[in-house]
Amino acid sequence: MIWPIVAVVLGIGLTVISADKFVEGAANLATRLGMSHFLIGLTIVSVGTSSPELLVSAVAAANGSPSLALGNALGSNITNITLVLGATAFLLPLAVPKPLIARELPMLVIVSICVCLLAIRGSFDLIAGVTLLGALPLVLYYLVRNQEKSEGAIEITQHKLGTAVTLTIGSLLVLIGSSKVLVWGAVELARQFGVSELIIGLTIIAIGTSLPELAASVASALKNNTDMALGTVIGSNLFNFLGVIGLAAVISPFAIENDVYSRDLPWTVGVTVLLFLFSRFSSKQEINRSHGLLFLLLYVSYLWNILAMIAPNS
C-alpha cells in the first residue's frame, strides 16, 4: 500500500514542478528564435499548463488504462472551474472581459457539448480521437484571429542557451518519467481499494494535475490580471477536451463507463454552462465571491456524489 501512495504523491509533485520548468525553458528558447510573447503564451504556456494531464493521460492510455485518462480529463475540467476558479474568485472577484464572454466561453460550452455528442456513440474510438485532435488547431485559430497581440503579458526568465536547452530537455524527461510513476501508483491504488481507475482519475489525479492552473490563476488574480486567470482555466479545459481525450482515444480507443454518462459528463457540461451564465448575466460581469463560494460547494458536492456511489460497492 505504501509504495503506490508514495508513487502518486511523488509523481504529482515531480509532474507539476517539471511542467513549470519545461514551460520556462521552452519559452526561453522560443524568445531566442524570435517568437512573440503572445505566440509563446498561445502555444508553449497554454500547452505547458495542460502538459501534466496530457502526459499522464497518454501514458495511461498506452499502458491500457484509458478510463484513467478520461477521468483525468473530465475531472481536471470540473476541478479547474469549481475548485481553481472557485478558490480564486473567493479570494478576489474576477472581472470577465467582453472578448471572453463573446468568444472563449461560448466556444468552451460548444466543445463540451460536442464531446458529449461524441460520447453518445458509446466509445471514444479512433474516429472520435482524430476528430477532437483535428478540431484543436481550428479552435485555437478561431480564438486568436481577432485578438490583439500583447508583448508584455508574459514574464519570461532569461537563461543562457545551454541552461535553457538543459532545462527544457531535462524537465521533459522528468515529466515523462514522473507521469509513468504517477500512473503506476494510481492503477495500484485503484486495485488495492477496489475502485475503478476512472474514480482515481476523477479525484486524486485530477486534483494533482490541476495544481499548475491553480497556481497560475491565483498568482494572476493577485496581480489583478484576472483575464489571464480566466484564460488559463478556459484554455486548459479546451485543451483537455480536445487534446487530452483526443490523444487518449487515438492511442487506445475505449468504451465509456455508465457512470460517465450519469455523473461526470453532466457535471462537466453543467459547471461549464454555469460559468458562462455567471459571466454573461452578472450585473458587473464578474465572477464574484458568492459565485466562487458556490463553485467550491459544488466541488465538495461532486466529491460527495462520487463517494456516495462508491460506498454501496465497497
Q: Is 124 helix (H, G, I), strand (E, B) or coil?
A: strand
pLDDT attached to residue 150? 44
Q: What distance in Å separates the CA atoms of residue 42 and residue 200, rounded to the nearest whole number?
A: 30
pLDDT attached to residue 243? 92
Given the C-alpha cell 519559452, which residue does it identify?
A: 27
pLDDT of 260 > 60? The answer is yes
Q: Which residues are CB-neighbours of 218 under 8 A, at least 6 positions away?
A: 87, 88, 91, 229
For residues 157 and 76, which has the higher predicted lDDT (pLDDT)? 76
The size of the chain, in residues, is 314
Instruction: Report residue 72 as a C-alpha cell.
Output: 483525468
Given the C-alpha cell 519570461, which residue does it identify?
A: 156
The model's pLDDT over 245-256, given as tens digits with 9 standing for 90+, comes to 999 999 999 999
pLDDT bin (cut points 50, 70, 90) of residue 266 is very high
Sort 268 into a burial class: Cβ within 10 Å, 0-12 / 13-18 / 19+: buried
What average pLDDT does range 152-165 have in this prediction? 68
Provide the percentage of residues in the chain whose pLDDT is more than 70.
Answer: 84
The model's pLDDT over 125-134, given as tens digits with 9 standing for 90+, comes to 999 999 999 9
The model's pLDDT over 188-220, given as tens digits with 9 standing for 90+, comes to 887 787 788 888 888 888 887 777 777 767 766
pLDDT of 187 > 90? The answer is no
Side-chain-facing half-sphere of 314: CA atoms under 13 Å? 13
What average pLDDT does range 254-260 have in this prediction? 91
Which residues are paired to 5 by β-bridges?
Answer: none
For residues 216 and 13, which has the higher predicted lDDT (pLDDT)? 13
Instruction: Report residue 159 as a C-alpha cell.
Output: 537563461
Element (H, E) at 128: helix 126-144
Side-chain-facing half-sphere of 202: CA atoms under 13 Å? 23
The model's pLDDT over 83-131, given as tens digits with 9 standing for 90+, comes to 989 988 998 888 888 878 888 899 999 999 999 999 999 999 999 999 9
Q: What distance in Å separates the CA atoms of residue 239 and residue 57, rounded to the nearest whole number?
A: 12
Q: State the CATH class of domain 2-313.
A: mainly alpha
pLDDT of 226 > 70? The answer is no
pLDDT attached to residue 152? 45
The model's pLDDT over 23-48, given as tens digits with 9 standing for 90+, comes to 677 767 767 766 555 455 555 665 66
pLDDT bin (cut points 50, 70, 90) of residue 293 is very high
